[in-house]
Amino acid sequence: MALLSKKDTNLILDPLADNNPITIQVLGICSALAITAELKASVVMALSVIFVLGVGNVVISFMRNMIPNKIRIIVQLIVVATLVIIVDQVLKAFAYELSKTLSVFVGLIITNCIIMGRFEAFALGNGPWKAFLDGIGNALGYGVILIIVGFFRELLGSGTLFGFKVLGDPVTKTGLYATGYENNGFMIIPPAALIVVGIIIWLQRSKNRALIEEN
């Protein structure tokens, strides 16, 4: 595999686990809490961030030698805002219902700390190819957590996955509901996402003790 050198592979794989933007750097929590009640919204959000961060990192990387240092934040904001508007318009055109569920949170991708963080920390100092891999990697790391959280919240909270009633019908009492099972309303409310993310952090750190911060 000459396509990706080992260093390049690490750019993608590191943010997936040991340097995950959500569980290790604890960035982008706000949207992780807000939109993970449904798996579909989580996936779309993850894809949006992958697009924005992947393309944005490349654009910033190309422009890195032209941007005056003093106004670099503004330039970054313009780039990310442009990309987010594209995402928003695409969603409105092709997935209107979903864009209503995601509502303001698509717009708020602009303020997602992960994106500005990667622009600042990586794209401004590295070439376009590396920046692209880094952007994809970090967005994937963000997306993986979003999808895990969304999976558990939708399954336990609504008994569905992508809207399909995988556990049976709660109204007509089929499937698991026939045994007296009920949906857990707690998983629908945003604090549940905080607890699920917390459990992921807990499991990850108990598996890899090197990640535990000393204090």
By CB under 8 A, name the binding residues for other proteins: 180-182, 184-187, 189, 195, 198, 202
Return the number of the residue (151 or 181) whose C-beta is nearest other proteins: 181
Tell the smallest beta-carbon distance from residue 136 to other proteins (Å): 33
**E-strand stretches of 14-143:** none
Return the number of the residue (24 or 49) whose C-beta is nearest other proteins: 24
CB 21 within 8 A of CB 31: no
**Inter-CA distances, 126 with 113, 134, 172, Å:** 19, 10, 57
Tell the smallest beta-carbon distance from residue 146 to other proteins (Å): 21
Tell the smallest beta-carbon distance from residue 181 to other proteins (Å): 8
- What residue type is assigned to position 117 of the chain? G
Q: Which of 144, 77, 138, 124 is nearest to 85 (CA)?
A: 77
Tell the smallest beta-carbon distance from residue 109 to other proteins (Å): 29
Look up residue 106 and give its two tokens: 């698509």
Radius of gyration of the chain from its Cα atoms, rounded to whole angstroms: 19
Return the number of the residue (52 or 196) whose C-beta is nearest other proteins: 196
Return the number of the residue (71 or 199) whose C-beta is nearest other proteins: 199
